Amino acid sequence: MGRIYKLAIKTKARKLRNQGWSLGEISRKMHIPRNTLSGWVKNIRLTEKQNERIRQKIIDSGAIGRPLAVKANREKIERWKENIRRKVENFGKFASGNPQMCKLICGILYLCEGAKYPSSQVMAFGNSDPEMIKTFLGLLRKYFNIQEEKLHCRIIPRWDQDINELQCFWSKITKIPISRFYKTKPDKRTKGKKTLKERYKGVCVLQYCDTSLQFGLQAIGESVIRGGV
């Protein structure tokens, strides 16, 4: 059975409604559910001015509430991400300093993003993520016997991007001098289309003319698949 309210309480609620208060305002002030209030005041007709005030209150409340809700949701997502990162951080420690594991990671990365033999007979690994390029190149340099002077780079920019600026950016990331960057042309598919992502620096393709290295990396990745992991 629902709560029974005194006549004085109903009268006060109706008086506030007659003054142009919204159901939400009355509910918060008197601690009475909105659905209960709506039954008490349903026959009260507000003036256009009062209705406009209520509409404006709803708009103002939303203008304040939306940014707060967005902030709260962003903070919730960051807590969720950080919780997952803590759970998996041991994987990074496990791989660090383990040559066989690091070679395995390099091979898996190549199988995902590298040019495959026999369609290509050059080791070519491309990605637009600087961290991905740095990780692959760091593993390649440390755990594989490569000759630095044979390592080249090629940038695939969008049509509206400055290739010289991109080459400087990727040279800094890869530590490969611009003199060892191959000439390139913008992606024709992007002509007339503005680059929307400010941080997008084109695709960086690392190249090393050694088919044995290429297939060796590919084979490492394939061994994982054959192993049924």
Identify whether 128 is part of a domain. yes
pLDDT band at 229 (very low <50, low <70, confident <90, very high): low
Identify whether 13 is part of a domain. yes
Domain count, the chain: 2
- For 152, the token pair is 């080249």
- 35 and 121 in a single domain? The answer is no
What predicted TM-score, i.e. pTM, was given to this entire model?
0.68
Cross-strand bridge partners of residue 203 = 156
pLDDT band at 64 (very low <50, low <70, confident <90, very high): low
pLDDT at 58 over 80: no
Q: How many CB atoms lie within 10 A of CB 4?
A: 5
- For 113, the token pair is 């993003």
Q: What is the DSSP letter of 181?
A: B
- For 201, the token pair is 């620096």
| Structural domain for 27, as ranges | 7-46
Identify whether 146 is part of a domain. yes
- Condensed to tens digits (0 to 9), the pLDDT of residues 82-111 reads 999 999 888 877 777 789 999 999 999 999
pLDDT band at 210 (very low <50, low <70, confident <90, very high): very high
- Condensed to tens digits (0 to 9), the pLDDT of residues 129-161 reads 999 999 999 999 999 999 999 999 999 999 999
SS3 127: strand
Task: Please tell me the distance from the alpha carbon of residue 7 to that of residue 9, in angstroms, as a whole number.
Answer: 5
pLDDT at 22 over 90: no
- 114 and 30 in a single domain? The answer is no
- 24 and 130 in a single domain? The answer is no
Task: Please tell me the distance from the alpha carbon of residue 162 to that of residue 173, in angstroms, as a whole number.
Answer: 17
Mean pLDDT of 5-24: 88
Mean pLDDT of 113-123: 95
- For 77, the token pair is 């997502």
- 205 and 124 in a single domain? The answer is yes
- State the pLDDT at residue 153: 97
- State the pLDDT at residue 1: 52
